[in-house]
Chain A
Amino acid sequence: MSIARVPDSPKPEDQEPKPNAKSKNLLHNKTIKAILQSPWFPGIIQVPVLLVFALIVFELVAGPSDAHGNFGTAGTWVLWWPLIPIILIVLGRFWCAICPFATVSDWVQKWVGNQRPVPKFLKKYGIWLIDIFFILITWSDHVVGIVENPRGSGTLLLLITTGVIASGAFFERRTWCRYLCFLGGLSGNYARSGGLELSATPEKCASCKTQSCYKGNEKAPGCPMFEFPRTMDSMASCNLCANCIKSCPNDSIQLHTRIPSTGLWFINKPKFEESFLAIIIMGIVFVQNITMISIWQPILTALQNIVGTTNYYITFTITFIIAMGLPVLALFAASWGAKLANGKKTVENFARFGYSLIPLDLAGHIAHNLFHLLAEGKSVYFTFLALFGQAIPNGSTALVATPTIQLMQFILIALGTIGSGYAAYRIAKHNFGGEGKTAGSFVPYGVLIVVLAAINVYLFTLPMSMRM
């Protein structure tokens, strides 16, 4: 692995105090530490995950063409996709450490890797590419067919694998995961508010001359995600691979639990594109909800009458642009409202407060997919049986009744609203508390969060269609 330049130490003004006392360092637990320092971790999980991934890709490409009977579709969209945001909130970006795409990239890199440095273009615009990929894939899902079409899902996975192989073959570390993976972008955004935090001990790092956590040593390679624990101010990129825990000669790394969403309160350098991704995810969840509920047909009919065509590409694209655009405009409007109170530029407020929407994003995402997981969960088992020639049993695919799922969805949205509202308040207090502008900065975002939550609640009251 090439020795890239170690990121600069943070300037004093960047080192903002973390006001909350941290929980106990999980690495003081001998079992947890032994697991994370083991040379078998995380490889022992990567290999079975890769084998399951291979089976799923094979099923998607060569299995039944009907989504209802395809284990790949059930495994991917009924089981894995709903579990991902739950994993992210509990374990942060740990999925990325065991992701089969990343494993393929690592193996290709070990075999033929050229270890070239990441192009400057990717460093600068990678997150925008992730935004664009995410939007395009969501759009393609509806007009070409990905989720409900096994071949479409298979093609998507193969295309991603191609990108991963190319990235691993030519570029260093996990360039794909950090700068290009749309799921990585989503994971990074969600992991900011996750319940785990890895950090370094500043006093120990101050005298460190080896910087093994970044460069790597004989015990483990350097951070695959280009992070330097000493300067890391969020969990957006850390995938908890534990390389730094293995390689640090000073035992400097700490691992703490934290209350989800606390990681959003003190972001030192907010980025517009990351906040943009947060609000785009809100739009994507709206699109996914709207197109699966009973009001979609009347909306489609009305649009067809207005536009004068029944072409689904056109009518869906218009719906898509509106569903994506309205939340973005609403966040701009709230940012303009906050500008009146705190005097900062609208774009600055957008970047700073956009992160506060992540808990509501997560709640909406989990709530939407909870329906698929709980109302279609048995389809995973049924299609698995079908792999071995067993007849698919008669009966419902639901694990729990629909009203129970709806209740859970409402609870999730309530939690997300509280998390987002409180995050917006803490961001306002942290940045403008000293000037007495906390309330004026917070109120526009508080209103926006309530409106977005109300839309979510309304959408979840309507009957939703299945994926399988």
Chain B
Amino acid sequence: MQGSTRKVCGSILLSLVLLFNLAGVVLADGNNQSMPGMNMSSSDQNTNQNSMPGMNMPSTNQNSMTGMASQSSAQGVNWYIVGGFILFNCLIVISAALAKPSAKGLK
């Protein structure tokens, strides 16, 4: 692979990785059904905390505190993220493998 081709290939891959990162954040954001500090009523928190036997808060807990990060709403596996991760990392490895033979000449 020529130097210019490698640069183009590398640029495309980096762009894809950045896009993937951005998509990951957006998808993770969209996946959150309850955000820390956002509309989390104390009754919700009590329900969540009491629903886990063995995970009781000690006397210092903040049952009355809103604004605390407490995310226990049901979420499924985000296959977009997992699939994207596998896909892009495969692309990175394949691209690196294609570029490898000529890389010896770089030194």
Which residues of chain A have a CB within 8 Å of any CB of chain B? 2-3, 61-62, 65-69, 108, 111-117, 140-145, 147-149, 151-152, 154-155, 158-159, 161-163, 165-166, 169-170, 291-292, 294, 296-297, 300, 312, 315-316, 375, 378-379, 382, 391-398, 402, 463-466, 468
Within 8 A of A (CB), among B15-73: 17, 20-21, 24-25, 27-29, 31-32, 35-38, 48, 51-62, 64-73
What are 21 A-B contacts defined by CB distance under 8 Å? A65-B75, A69-B52, A108-B93, A111-B93, A113-B96, A114-B103, A144-B25, A145-B69, A145-B71, A151-B77, A152-B32, A158-B85, A159-B24, A162-B17, A162-B89, A169-B96, A170-B99, A379-B55, A393-B54, A402-B58, A465-B62
A112–B32 touching, CB < 8 Å: no
Q: How far is the CA of A333 from the CA of B76 in the complex (A)?
A: 49
- Are A396 and B24 touching (Cβ within 8 A)? no
Question: Are B60 and A161 neighbours in the complex by a CB distance under 8 Å?
Answer: no
Q: How far is the CA of A144 from the CA of B89 in the complex (A)?
A: 24
Minimal Cβ-Cβ distance residue in B for A147: B69
B93 adjacent to A112 (CB under 8 Å): yes
CA distance A434 to B69 in the complex (A): 52
Query: Does B74 reach chain A (CB closer than 8 Å)?
Result: yes
Q: Is the CB of A116 within 8 A of B106?
A: yes
CA distance in complex: A294, B65 (Å) = 7
In the assembled complex, the CB of A303 is this many whole angstroms from the nearest CB of chain B, namely: 10
What residues of chain B lie closer than 8 Å to A163, measured between beta carbons? 17
A395 with B58: in contact, given A2-B107, A61-B82 (CB under 8 Å)?
A: no
In the complex, which residues of chain B have a beta carbon less than 8 angstroms from the beta carbon of A3? 107
Q: Once the chains bind, are B17 and A166 in contact (CB under 8 Å)?
A: yes
Q: How large is the interface on B (under 10, 10 to 19, 20 to 34, 35 or more residues)?
A: 35 or more
A466 and B69 in contact, given A61-B82, A169-B95, A392-B52 (Cβ under 8 angstroms)? no
Partner of A396, one of B27, B56, B62, B107: B56
B55/A468 in contact, CB under 8 A = yes
Quote the shortest CB–CB distance from B61 to chain A (angstroms): 6
What is the CA–CA distance of A108 and B96 in the complex, to the nearest angstrom?
9
Known: A65-B75, A114-B100, A294-B65. A155 touches B17 (CB 8 A): no
Are B96 and A112 within 8 A (Cβ)?
yes
Interface pair B37/A300, CB less than 8 Å apart? yes
- In whole angstroms, how far apart are the Cα atoms of A257 and B69 in the complex? 40
State how many angstroms separate the Cβ of B100 from the closest Cβ of chain A: 6
Q: How far is the CA of A163 from the CA of B89 in the complex (A)?
A: 9
Q: Are A396 and B75 in contact (CB under 8 A)?
A: no
- Contacts A142-B69, A144-B29, A154-B81 supplied; 17 other A-B pairs, CB < 8 Å: A3-B107, A114-B99, A114-B100, A114-B106, A145-B28, A145-B32, A145-B69, A147-B69, A149-B28, A158-B81, A166-B14, A166-B17, A300-B67, A312-B67, A316-B37, A394-B53, A466-B61
Within 8 Å CB of A165, what residues of B?
89, 92-93
Q: Report B-chain residues with C-beta under 8 Å of the C-beta of A148.
A: 36, 69-71
Given A61-B77, A68-B55, A297-B66 contact (CB < 8 Å): yes
Q: Is the CB of B17 within 8 A of A382?
A: no
The answer to whether A312 touches B72 (Cβ under 8 A) is: no
A396 and B100 form a contact (CB under 8 A): no
Nearest-Cβ distance from residue B21 to partner chain A, whole angstroms: 6
B104 CB to closest chain A CB (Å) equals 9
Partner of B25, one of A62, A140, A170, A465: A140
Q: How far is the CA of A62 from the CA of B14 in the complex (A)?
A: 27
Contact of A397 among B54, B65, B85, B100 (CB under 8 A): B54
Chain A: CB-nearest residue to B28: A155
Q: Which of A2, A62, A111, A312 makes the CB contact (< 8 A) with B36?
A: A312
Question: Please, how many angstroms separate the alpha-carbon atoms of A170 and B91 in the complex?
Answer: 13
Q: Are A66 and B93 in contact, CB atoms less than 8 angstroms apart?
A: no
Whether the pair B85, A116 counts as a contact (CB closer than 8 A) is no
B95 / chain A contacts, CB cutoff of 8 Å? 169
